[in-house]
Amino acid sequence: MSETQRLFLALWPSEEQQQAWSELAGEWLPEGAGRLIKPANLHMTLLFLGDISVDQCASLKSKIDSYRGRAFELVMDRFGHWRRPQVAWLGASETPQELQDLVHALQLIARSCDIQVDTRPYRAHLTLARKVRKAPARIRFEPINWFVGDFVLVKSELTSEGALYEVVSKWSLNDSRGE
Ligand code: 2AM
C-alpha cells in the first residue's frame, strides 16, 4: 500500500491568540466539564482531507499555489456546544463571504485531486474542548476579532497522548485593506 498522511486545511491562530482563547475556555467551562484542547492545537478547520497519498498531496498543494483567496476579519461572538460530538466551540454568528468562498474553492480543488470531502454545509468553529457532555452555561463576552491573512495545511498524527499537529504548508490571502 502506498504511503498516506492524515491532513486537513485550517486557519491557524497566533500563539498569543491560542493562549488567550485557551484561557477563556478554562474560565468558561466548569472544572471537569470536558477535556480542554492544548493551546498549541487550537485551530479552525477549513476542510478535513483524511488520509491522502503523497501524489494527491503534491497535486493539492500545487493547485492551491495557483489560487488566491481574500483575507478577512472573522468576528467570533459565539460560544457553543454540540451534544453529539460533545464539543464546546468558539464560532461566528456570521460567516464572512471570503471564508465561504475559500472553503468552497478548497473543496473543489480537493475533489479535483480525487480527495473525498465532507458534503455537509460548512460550520465555522474552533473546538475549545472535547468530551463536554453537558451544555455549558450561556456566556456573555466581547466579540473576538480575528484578522485572517493566511491558511495552512496540517499533518495530524493520532498518538496515545492525543492528536499531534504539524503545520506543513502556508498560503497567504490577499489583503485589500487600505487599497
Ligand atoms: P473538530 O474540531 O470539530 O473535531 C483535525 O481532526 C480537525 O479536522 C479537527 O478540527 C476536526 O474538527 C476536523 N474534522 C472534520 N472532519 C473530521 C473527521 N471526519 N475526522 C476527524 N477530524 C475531522
The atom number, within ligand 1, closest to the CA of 8 reads: 8
Ligand 1 site-directed mutation target among 5, 6, 48, 131, most atoms within 8 Å of CB: 48
pLDDT band of 1, cuts 50, 70, 90? low
Half-sphere exposure of 70 (CA within 13 A, CB side): 12
Q: Which residues line ligand 1 (CB under 6 A)?
A: 8, 45, 48, 87, 118, 127, 156
Q: What is the pLDDT of residues 13-34, one digit of tens each?
A: 999 999 999 999 999 998 889 9
Q: What is the pLDDT of residue 14?
A: 98
- Give the residue, by CA position, lying nearest to ligand 1 atom 2: 127
Ligand 1 site-directed mutation target among 8, 86, 131, most atoms within 8 Å of CB: 8
Q: What is the pLDDT of residues 33-89, one digit of tens each?
A: 999 999 999 999 999 999 999 999 999 999 999 999 999 999 999 999 999 999 999
Q: What is the pLDDT of residue 176?
A: 84
Ligand 1 site-directed mutation target among 5, 43, 45, 158, most atoms within 8 Å of CB: 45
